[in-house]
Amino acid sequence: MRILVNGAWRETLAAELSAVLEELGYGEAVVATAVNGEFVATGVRAGTRLAEGDRVEVLAPMQGG
């Protein structure tokens, strides 16, 4: 299925958010996630199933004012 990850379309075979992150190479990186604008905590990524066209955000610490 196709999902939108950080604004870019991705083809994925994974069904759950945790597996998508693994597939995209995030591994142990410190990131926070949201699906369709709603925060998804680390602990529930494994149980979060994605559907065609879902918008996934993967954010990490960055410089800020």
Partner 1 sequence: MLQLYGTSLRSRLLLGTARYPSPAVLTAAVRAARVEVVTVALRRESGGERAGQGFWSIIRELGVRVLPNTAGCHSVKEAVSTAHMAREVFGTPWIKLEVIGEDDTLQPDVFGLTEAARILCADGFEVFPYTTEDLVVAERLLAVGCRVLMPWGAPIGSGRGLNNLFGLSALRAHFPDVPLIIDAGIGVPSHAARALELGFDAVLINTAVAQAGDPVQMAAAFAQAVEAGRSARLAGPIEPRDLAAPSTPVIGTAFRR
For the CB of residue 55, give the shortest distance to partner 1 in the complex, in Å.
12
Decide whether 52 or 65 has the Cβ nearer to partner 1: 65
Do residues 3 and 53 make contact, with C-beta atoms less than 8 angstroms apart? yes
Interface with partner 1 includes 25 (CB under 8 A)?
yes
DSSP letter at 45 equals S
Contact 10, 3 (CB under 8 A): yes
CB 50 to partner 1: min, Å: 16
Does 58 participate in binding partner 1 (rule CB under 8 A)? yes
